[in-house]
Each structure stands twice: as C-alpha cells, then as structure tokens.
Amino acid sequence: MTVSSPLKVSVLGATGSIGRSTLDVLARHPERYRLHAVTAQRSREALRDLCLAWSPARAVIGSAADAEWLRAELGAAGHVATEVSSGEQALIEVAGDPDADVVMAAIVGAAGLLPTLAAVEAGKRVLLANKEALVMSGSLFMQAVARAGATLLPIDSEHNAIYQCLPMQHRGGLERLGVSRLLLTASGGPFREWASADLAEVTPAQACAHPNWSMGQKISVDSATLMNKGLELIEACWLFDATPAQVEVVVHPQSIVHSMVGYSDGSVLAQLGNPDMRTPIAYGLAWPERIDAGVAALDLFTVGRLDFEPPDEQRFPCLRLARQAMAAGGTAPAVLNAANEVAVQAFLAGRLSFPGIARVVAATLEALEVHAADSLDVIMCEDARARRTAEALLQQRSG
C-alpha cells in the first residue's frame, strides 16, 4: 500500500534507547513518516542534533535554561523550523498535540505517566514502551484508552510478541479466544547463574551490562533484579485483561522467543526474532502492515538451541513482590513502582546494595496501606508517599 501523506510521529523520550531506535526505523521510511515532535529531559546536545537533522515542528526539554540554550543553538545554525518549549506542562501539551497521528511513549519511569495519558486522551495511536505508566494507573489508563478510542500498541518486546500471537480482535477476555495462559519470557538477566551470596557484591556497571539487550540504565537494573519481569507481568494483566495466575514467567536465556500464547487445544504460539527493539517498534509504527526494521533475519542455525527454565524467586524476590502487588490491587503497583525507582537510583548512586533494592521495595509495600486507585490524584499522592517512605528507609539503612 502506498501512503498518500506521511503519518506525523511524536517521540517522547527521543534521546533514550527506545527513542533512538524509533528514529532509526523512521529514517528507513521517509515516505511513510514525518517526525513531528521530540522531547528529552536533560540531553540538550542530543536534542539539538535531532532538531537539526530532522526539523521536527516541536521540541520539549526539561528546564527553561536548557530551552533557552537550545533556541540559541538552533538560531545560530539558522534553524527556525522547530518551536522549543520546556517543562512538564509543555510535555503534556505536546503529547496530546492534535497535529500528531502517532505518539511513541518512551520516557522512563513515572515521569511518563501524565504525558502518555495525554496522548491516550487525545485518541492517538500510542506506542507504549513506558511500562511504568501502565503499572501505576492500569485501570484508569485502560478506561482512558477505551473512552478516547486510542489505539494502544505494546512496544515492550514480550507484550508485542503476545499481541502478535493473539487474534487481531482480542478485546473482551482471554477465555473467549480459547487462551489458557500467556507465557512471558525473561532472559534472567546477567546474574541468572550467580549464587545468592555473590549478589551482594554486584556493581552498577555489572548490573547495566545486559547479556542480550542494550537498554537505558533503569530498565537494565530492573532486568537484573527481575523487577522488569514483575512490572511486565502487571503490564500484561492490564493490556490483555489477564489475571496474574494466567501469566507464567519462563526464563529463556537466549532472548529469541519474545513470548508465547498458550491455547486451550494445547497449541502454543510464539513470536521469535533477534533481540532488537526495532522489530516491535516497526510493528507498532506500521500496524497492521509490516515494514523493514533494519533487523537482520533470524538465523536459527547460529542460535542453535533454545533453553527454558523456571524463574528463581528466592534469589530474585522482585518478581514475587510484583505478583503480590498486583494481587493486592489498587495503589499497590504504583507503590511498588515508586519504591523501585527510588531504590534503583540509590543502587546506581552507590547508596544501596543490589539485594537492597528488593528489601527497600518490600519494606515500602509493607509500610503503606492500599487505597483504591480510582483517581490520578490518589495515584500521584501514593507515588509521592512511597518515594518518601523508600527514601526514609534508605536513610535508616545508611544511618
């Protein structure tokens, strides 16, 4: 099919790992897509280079001072095509910009919630990489998708795989489709084979060196603790209207099978590919068509073998904590997410050991009451409370 006018794409978190992979796919299809807006928090040089290379209509950066710097740099280069703004309100406004058709939600962490929701509420095609937004606000988020008639396409490779293994029209319950379970694959992270005792010595550099995927720091640490799989379990429940019991985690160290769907007749459908996020990104951009993603064809003879094993929740308790938070419901997943963000930052800053991440999350969950997550105000308030609680726990541990 030829597309008459290019789709306008906004990339929230354009300077990050997913943002850069998205631009790589867009660059392969200039006739199909035009970059409408780009955003970043602090990487002003990278954002300047993107503006000069792509001439998006809009760019948003975290601080007013950086926006000033960016305007001056673009002005000096004779580049006037891009309107530069700053701050959270500008980010939310650009996310819902009526001129854009597609929004890639690739901000990391809770900071992505309001912008991603703004894109949903504006009825966009939303490519969801920012799993934390859905984990925090699952019920409200999915209601907003339905109300606004937005098209939500999962970019997380596992959820993208499951989406591809489900019938096209999969709204309205897994049972009706004959689905018995969702099999979420996990690489197991860099410490899959480490003894418990050795995990106390893990450094941030070791935790960020993922064996199969090259990703931002936060998700790399989450992959190492298996909190990433915990967040993804919650994400799968909301995206596919599944119960936690219907989602089985399978450790698959090669990261070639990106996830699977089990049906009641015994069939298991899987999506395979090289571990490269450009595949799910291209799927989301072109859906329901397919386009070249720049990813090499999978060579099964080089892969040779595919291994599967159960996760070890003793050594990696974050997966269990996420399951418990989802079962508790309400604001518990938002608390889990916020405590994890604080703990991961502390670990990266050398203030907390690797096993300490799970301990801080567990203690924060234990300390806070679960509320009904029936408004954004409640969710944001509990997010802030969880951050304060986790921070206080960190102070106690170091004091």
Contact footprint for Mg ion (CB under 5 A): 156-158
Candidates 36-44, 332-340, 346-354, 386-394 — which segment interacts with ligand NAD by CB under 6 A?
A: 36-44
Binds 389: which of Mg ion, ligand NAD, none (CB < 5-8 Å by kind): none
Closest-approach residue to ligand NAD (CB)? 16
Query: Which C-beta is closer to Mg ion: that of 97 or that of 235?
Result: 235
156 touches ligand NAD (CB under 6 A): yes
Candidates 136-144, 214-222, 247-255, 388-396 — which segment interacts with ligand NAD by CB under 6 A?
A: 214-222
Candidates 104-112, 163-171, 187-195, 372-380 — which segment interacts with ligand NAD by CB under 6 A?
A: 104-112
333 touches ligand NAD (CB under 6 A): no
Buried b (16+ CB within 10 A) or exposed e, 370-396: bbebeebebbbebbebbbebbbebbee
CA distance 197 to 130: 33
Contact, 248 vs 183, CB < 8 A? Answer: yes
Binds 107: which of ligand NAD, Mg ion, none (CB < 5-8 Å by kind): ligand NAD
Candidates 2-10, 130-138, 324-332, 388-396 — which segment interacts with ligand NAD by CB under 6 A?
A: 130-138
* Minimal distance, residue 48 CB to ligand NAD, in Å: 13
- Residue 232, annotated ligand binder? yes
Query: Which C-beta is closer to ligand NAD: that of 16 or that of 317?
Result: 16
Q: Which helix (H) or strand (E) holds 397?
A: helix 376-398
Binds 108: which of Mg ion, ligand NAD, none (CB < 5-8 Å by kind): ligand NAD
166 touches ligand NAD (CB under 6 A): no
- Tally the C-alpha atoms within 13 A of residue 220's C-alpha that lie toward its C-beta: 22
Select the residue interacting with ligand NAD from 104, 129, 184, 361 (CB under 6 A). Answer: 129
277 touches ligand NAD (CB under 6 A): yes
Select the residue interacting with ligand NAD from 101, 142, 194, 213 (CB under 6 A). Answer: 213
Residue 221: Cβ-neighbour burial (10 angstroms; 0-12, 13-18, 19+): buried
- Residue 15, annotated ligand binder? yes
Q: List the helix and strand counts (H, then E) for the chain.
A: 17, 11
Give me the amino acid identity at 264.
Answer: S
- Residue 223, annotated ligand binder? yes
Structure tokens given for 302: 């080089």
Strand partners, 182: 247, 261
Query: Which C-beta is closer to Mg ion: that of 73 or that of 158?
Result: 158
19 touches ligand NAD (CB under 6 A): yes
Angle at 168 between CA 163 and CA 169, to 5 degrees: 110
Chain length of the chain: 399
- Residue position matching structure tokens 């040089």: 45
Query: What is the full DSSP assignment across 95-148?
Result: HT-TT-SEEEE---SGGGHHHHHHHHHTT-EEEE--HHHHHHHHHHHHHHHHHH
Q: Coil, strand, or helix at residue 1?
A: coil
108 touches ligand NAD (CB under 6 A): yes
Contact, 82 vs 56, CB < 8 A? Answer: yes
239 touches ligand NAD (CB under 6 A): no
Select the residue interacting with ligand NAD from 66, 132, 235, 383 (CB under 6 A). Answer: 132
What would the 3-class secondary structure string for 324-392 be?
HHHHHCCCHHHHHHHHHHHHHHHHHCCCCCHHHHHHHHHHHHHHCCCCCCCCHHHHHHHHHHHHHHHHH
Interface positions, 109-128, toward ligand NAD (CB under 6 A): 111
- CB proximity list for 128: less than 8 A, separation 6 or greater: 105, 116, 134, 152, 153, 154, 155, 156
- Residue 178, annotated ligand binder? no
Other beta carbons within 10 Å of 340: 31
Binds 249: which of ligand NAD, Mg ion, none (CB < 5-8 Å by kind): none
Binding site for ligand NAD (CB under 6 A): 13-19, 40-41, 43, 62, 106-108, 111, 129-132, 156, 213, 215-216, 218-219, 277
Which residues contribute to the annotated binding site for 1-deoxy-D-xylulose 5-phosphate?
A: 131, 157-158, 187, 210, 223, 228-229, 232
Annotated binding residues for NADPH, as ranges?
15-18, 42, 130, 132, 216
